[in-house]
Chain A
Amino acid sequence: MASREVVQYETPLTRAFRWFSVAFIIVYLMWTLLPILVMFVSSFKDLLEAFKIPAVGDWAGIGVFFEFTPTLKHYQDLFLNLNFSSYILNSLVAAGGSAVISVVLGSMAAYSLSRINFKGKNDLFFWIISTRMAPVVAVMVPLYSIFRSLELVGTLPGLILAYTTFNLPFAIWILKGFFDNVPYAIEEAQMVDGATRPQALLAILPLVAPGIGAFIVLCILFAWNDFLFAAIIGSGGAKTLPVATRELVQPQNIQWGSIMAAGVVTTVPMMLLGLVIRRYLVTGLTMGAVKE
């Protein structure tokens, strides 16, 4: 790496490019944030106000968007009439349960995969990763038929198992990369001092703990945001937030106010968690292929 900054001379062309990129960033930010803003604001609006938009081509009328008296009635509706608190609980149990199972079992497997070599290791690895990459709907067809015969459809344990199908391979794959970065010499040093293997593992655990924590959060995020598994496997007894939100869309009557409020309830915790594990996000979302 060169230590000095590259000296760049400003030509009209580069200046134009700079201004263009600033403008592009601003436009892009607006388009990224607008739907989120609309969701937030609409959740506090009365329906009549939420439906108010200016006439076509009336650019000055944009101000209409901010003309409203905030109301919490959609949120009250969600929690008092629509039973959303129990759906939140379902979401938490399903996502949390599968995340903990996946990361605990996954880190054990990842640790040993990282420490030993054996014949067929690559094949095993490919199998693990292909499980993760399979299309959700395709996985669901046999899973549904099996779960139905085991009477797991519509129960939280069933949903937890279903989420584990994509969280466990993810955890193994990504945590192996994590353990690979911990020098084996540390464990060797421990063992020279008389530690047993499990004790040596405990000694390196603090090194990987932050990463493991972050990937628990990522697993929660994947499961929390899932709709398909929850809609089919969890239908009935284990309704989660995304499914409950979707059910507010009825053919004759789409309850937009409640939908937006439910959207906020579903989204905000995940956005906050996303900020907490910001450092591991790219690694996690690219399956460890890209590190920041």
Chain B
Amino acid sequence: MTDTALSDQYVPGQSQGLFRVREIADNVEARPVPSTVTMPAKLNPAASRAYFFWLMVPAIVLLACISLYPFFWMIYMSLHDVEIGSTVWNNFENFTKLATDSRYLKGWWLLIQYSVMCLVLQIGIGVFLAVALNGARFEKILVTTLLMPMMMAPIVAGLVWHFLYNGTFGWYHWLLQSVGILGPKSILASTSTALIGIVIVDVWQWTPLITLITLAGLKRVPQDQLEANMVDGASQLRNFFAITLPNLYPVLLIAVMLRFMDNFRFIDSVLALTGGGPGNATKILPVYLFEVSFKFFKLGRGAAIALTLLIVTIVLGMILVRIFDRQQPRKA
């Protein structure tokens, strides 16, 4: 407040630079030096507020054009019959039809099954791997090697796995068959196992992410607590469950949320592996949405489905941001 008053008083021409210097210098003295920046609404005279505002504008405007406008356009589309060249109001029919659309409902159910299976396996394997790797010899090199699958385009990963799963010349199929788990039919060819097939690929590609996150968390487990517990005679197993795991919990929560949303976001590998088949066994909701919108070009119906999917994701996102916020003080 005083800042603005000052600069208002001493208008153009005479030694304004001098006063500006003083005013900032005073503020520097008055404040303890922060390690991270929080403030400084008070520090900003109107002039620099405008400066910051204009720095922000291009990004915000662009983002509004390519995300906010499409969002409202999607709501508009979801209420209409959208054909090429004509758009007709259809009295919420897109939505009422969804309630009886068995493939839509099954899509949700499959999506949940798919995500939960992926998560359970990824967390289980990922955390164990991190614990095993933590402090191991060659840890750096091993972790870097683990990164490789994540750098691969999901569509390429899907195609390579399609090759590996192939019933006549796929190596993984040969392995599964030799061990006796699978018959001559490929894992992707039968309705009962196809979902597991696509889960395995997701687990292959993204478990390393969980491992990396867990490793970062493990480095921050307070050693003194572990020591104290051991002095009290706790076994290592008990140490793990009583101290390490509770300390990992917040990090793992983030990992779970991120993976959960990515399973909603990406369907590249599923498209490459099965494209939703056989039958509808792997037609998780985003795949169904893809089919409705871009195979049959029922964009109105697609928009309605997309809207429901989006709302669920946004709710999940809200929860995630809550978790982020709660993490902040701990991080600092």
> Which residue among B35, B294, B313 has the maximum number of chain A CB atoms within 10 Å of its CB?
B294
Q: How far is the CA of A109 from the CA of B212 in the complex (A)?
A: 29
- Contact A145–B306 (Cβ < 8 Å): no
Query: At the interface, yes or no: A212 with Cβ under 8 Å from chain B?
Result: no
Q: With both chains docked as a complex, state the minimum distance between the C-beta of B143 and any C-beta of chain A, in angstroms.
A: 9
Residues of B within 8 A of A (CB): 17, 21, 24-25, 27-28, 33-37, 39-41, 44, 48-49, 51-53, 55-56, 58-60, 62-63, 66-71, 73-74, 77, 82, 125, 128-129, 131-133, 136, 142, 144-157, 159-161, 163-164, 168-171, 174, 177-178, 204, 208-209, 212-213, 215-217, 219, 222-224, 226-227, 230, 235-237, 251, 254-255, 258, 261, 264-268, 271-272, 286, 289-290, 293-294, 299, 302-303, 306-307, 309-310, 313-314, 316-318, 320-321, 324, 327, 331
- Contact A227–B63 (Cβ < 8 Å): no
B146 cross-chain contacts in A, Cβ below 8 A: 29, 32
Q: How far is the CA of A256 from the CA of B39 in the complex (A)?
A: 58
Q: How far is the CA of A24 from the CA of B33 in the complex (A)?
A: 49
Q: How far is the CA of A189 from the CA of B145 in the complex (A)?
A: 44
Q: How far is the CA of A18 from the CA of B108 in the complex (A)?
A: 41
Given the interface pairs A136-B265, A270-B151, the reply to whether A2 lies near B58 with Cβ below 8 Å is no
> Which residue among B149, B152, B255, B289 has the maximum number of chain A CB atoms within 10 Å of its CB?
B152
Residues of A within 8 A of B (CB): 1-2, 6, 8, 13-14, 17, 21-22, 24-25, 28-29, 31-36, 38-39, 42, 50-54, 56-59, 65, 101, 105-106, 108-109, 111-118, 124, 126-131, 133-146, 161-162, 164-165, 168-169, 172, 179-185, 188-189, 191-192, 194, 197, 221, 224-228, 232, 241-242, 245-246, 249, 256, 259-260, 262-263, 266-267, 270-271, 273-275, 278, 281-282, 285-287, 289-292
- Contact A266–B164 (Cβ < 8 Å): no
A131 cross-chain contacts in B, Cβ below 8 A: 63, 67
B33 cross-chain contacts in A, Cβ below 8 A: 183, 185
Known: A138-B74, A183-B37. 11 other contacts (CB 8 A): A31-B204, A35-B164, A53-B170, A65-B171, A105-B62, A118-B41, A137-B306, A141-B77, A165-B67, A184-B40, A259-B159
Given the interface pairs A50-B169, A145-B77, A192-B25, the reply to whether A139 lies near B132 with Cβ below 8 Å is no
A52 cross-chain contacts in B, Cβ below 8 A: 169
Q: How far is the CA of A15 from the CA of B193 in the complex (A)?
A: 37
- Contact B70–A139 (Cβ < 8 Å): yes
- Contact A2–B24 (Cβ < 8 Å): no
Contact of A108 among B58, B272, B290, B306 (CB under 8 A): B58
**Chain A residue at minimal CB-CB distance from B65:** A161
Given the interface pairs A135-B264, A136-B266, the reply to whether A32 lies near B148 with Cβ below 8 Å is yes
- Contact B254–A51 (Cβ < 8 Å): no
A-B contact count (CB 8 A): 335
- Contact B44–A130 (Cβ < 8 Å): no
A24 cross-chain contacts in B, Cβ below 8 A: 128-129, 132
Q: With both chains docked as a complex, state the minimum distance between the C-beta of B130 and any C-beta of chain A, in angstroms.
A: 11
Q: How far is the CA of A169 from the CA of B20 in the complex (A)?
A: 35
- Contact B309–A191 (Cβ < 8 Å): no
Q: How far is the CA of A229 from the CA of B272 in the complex (A)?
A: 15
- Contact A192–B24 (Cβ < 8 Å): yes
- Contact B67–A139 (Cβ < 8 Å): yes
8 smallest beta-carbon distances between A and B, as pairs: A21-B132, A109-B59, A138-B306, A112-B52, A225-B153, A142-B74, A142-B70, A227-B155
- Contact B21–A194 (Cβ < 8 Å): yes
A54 cross-chain contacts in B, Cβ below 8 A: 174
